[in-house]
Amino acid sequence: MDPRALRRFRSNRGALVGTGIVLLLVLVAALAPAVLGLDPMTSDFDAGQGAEGAPVGPSAAHWLGTDTVYRDQLARLVYGARLSLVIGVAASALSLLIGTAAGVLAGYWQGRTIGPAALRLSLDGIIMRFVDIGLCFPFLILVMAIGAALDETTVWTVLIVLGSTSWLGTARIVRSQTMRVRDLDYVTASRALGEGTAMVLVRHVLPSVAGTLIVLGTISVAQLILAESALSYLNLGLAPPTPSWGHMLLEGQRDYASAPWLLAAPGGAILLSVMGFNLLGEGLRDAFDPRESPP
């Protein structure tokens, strides 16, 4: 990594806060279930049940109180963090993969036609029109339609649905970067020296878009965590009783006036994690690409 980028990153307070939040999240998701020793699926009818069957608020036995069926809210939050992170990161990786492939394909072979000559179909045109059409489609409705068509939602289906619908923006950015790099003198020179297309892509094009990809990936983790929460909030995510922040929000909202912790905990968790990834992503962007940020 460029030492100047590292210096810029270290002097950016927002980026450091973001890093801290993300590290904390990862740590919590990885370790807390073991440390906590509470099961997010089991109702506690003794310490978790208050007067007249009400859930209990924050207490010694349940630090964040219990939900409406007396399961530990903290345990659910922590397991929910696991789910959100796994889905956010994996779906973002998937979306980067597809987006980069499509972007490089469209950008590097821009101007190349395929199929019968009379049709003059350009590869770039086909991919980018597909992207345009995809971007016109309201993201959530698309995801909801796919989610509703699937009989059973698992982590895999959510992940694939989110990953395969969120790569469009990435493809656009990667395409323009590829086009820029493709025509740089040193790339032309290396082609002239007989380097094959694969080599050019791997040695010159991909490294030059890597910075952008890291930034896009980090920010898209935040967006996908939000999207996963939205899906579960709309009851289209993983089926209960799997703990998920969005669904906890849904369960909590009915009674928020009398049991605000049911809403505050998952809401705060979503806010914090999305903010963490966004701050980290923007910090990375400022570090990698100082020209784009204001002086």
Q: How far apart are CA 107 and CA 119, in angstroms?
A: 20
> Which is closer to another protein, CB of 33 or CB of 50?
50
Q: Which pairs with CB-CB distance under 8 Å and at least 24 residues apart come from 53-61?
A: 54/258, 54/259, 55/259, 55/262, 57/259, 57/261, 58/261
Q: How far is CA 18 from CA 32, 139, 229, in A?
A: 20, 26, 20
Specify whether the CB–CB gap between 287 and 8 falls below 8 A: yes
Nearest distance from C-beta of residue 90 to another protein, angstroms: 23
* In the complex, minimum distance from the CB of residue 77 to another protein, in angstroms, rounded to a whole number: 16
Nearer to another protein, 48 or 217 (CB): 48
Distance CA 241, CA 263 (A): 17
- Closest contact distance (angstroms) between CB of 73 and another protein is 14
Cβ–Cβ < 8 Å for 275, 19: no
Residue nearer to another protein on the CB measure, 188 or 235: 235
Alpha-carbon distance of 33 to 80, in angstroms, equals 10
Measured from the CB atom, is 207 or 290 closer to another protein?
290
CB of 246 to another protein, least distance (A): 13
Q: How far is the CB of 247 from another protein (least distance, A)?
A: 9
Of 121, 94, 291, 131, nearest to 211 by C-alpha is: 291
Nearer to another protein, 110 or 223 (CB): 223
Q: Which residues bind another protein (CB under 8 A)?
A: 11-14, 41-43, 45, 49, 51-55, 68-71, 152, 235, 239-241, 250-251, 253-260, 264, 279, 282, 286, 293-295
